């Protein structure tokens, strides 16, 4: 689990992880309020804190946050595998209506449902993860 790995990572590695996650979420087109909510950051997290995560500040050591980060990484990796020669297609896929989500886009699913939405989208794009949780 990433929250356990996080404990052994250096400050620089943790800051790089935060930058990477913020880049993924920025690529998906989330606004500041959606970012804070999706990452389970405390309500009212200032925009400047989000900017710091993009620069050189690690995320807080919070198991709920790192559970979500794990799913974001899983979704991103699965989309990179699905669209290896066309990275912009991954962001487009996140924004398109999808029958699996009753016409909602995967992005709408994760924004409205949080962790449950992340798990649902990850299960859809990452068959290895889906097999693990639904044997």
SS (H, E, C) the chain: CHHHHHCCCCHHHHHHHHHHHHHHHHHHCCCHHHHHHHCCCCCCCCHHHHHHHHHCCCCCCCHHHHHHHHHHHHHHHHHHHHCCCCHHHHHHHHHCCCHHHCCCCHHHHHHHHCHHHHHHHHHHHCHHHHHHHCC
Tell me, what's the pLDDT at 23?
95
Tell me, what's the pLDDT at 53?
95
Which tokens hold the place of 16?
A: 């790089």
Q: Which residues of the chain have pLDDT under 70?
A: 1-6, 130-135
Tell me, what's the pLDDT at 3?
54
Q: Output b/e per residue, 55-73; b: 16+ Cβ within 10 A.
A: eebbbbebeebbbbbbbbb
CB 79 within 8 A of CB 86: no
Tell me, what's the pLDDT at 134?
63
Question: Model pTM?
Answer: 0.89
Tell me, what's the pLDDT at 1?
55
Tell me, what's the pLDDT at 105?
96
**pLDDT tens digit sequence for 11-41:** 899 999 999 999 999 999 999 989 999 999 9
Our count of domains for the chain comes to: 1
In the chain, the percentage of residues whose pLDDT exceeds 70 is 91
CB 107 within 8 A of CB 95: yes
Tell me, what's the pLDDT at 69?
95
**How many other CB atoms are found less than 10 A from the CB of residue 28?**
23
Task: Domain of residue 114: give its range.
Answer: 2-133
């Amino acid at each position: 689990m990433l929250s356990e790995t996080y404990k052994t990572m250096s400050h620089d590695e943790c800051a790089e992880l935060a930058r990477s996650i913020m880049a993924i979420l920025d690529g998906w087109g989330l606004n500041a309020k959606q970012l804070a909510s999706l990452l389970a950051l405390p309500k009212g997290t200032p925009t400047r804190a989000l900017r710091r995560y993009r620069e050189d500040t690690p995320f807080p050591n919070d198991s709920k946050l790192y559970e979500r980060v794990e799913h974001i990484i899983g979704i991103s990796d699965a989309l990179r595998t699905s669209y290896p020669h066309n990275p912009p297609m991954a962001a487009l896929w996140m924004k398109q209506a999808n029958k699996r989500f009753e016409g909602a886009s995967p992005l709408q699913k994760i924004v409205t449902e949080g962790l449950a939405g992340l798990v649902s989208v990850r299960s859809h794009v990452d068959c290895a993860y889906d097999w693990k949780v639904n044997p």
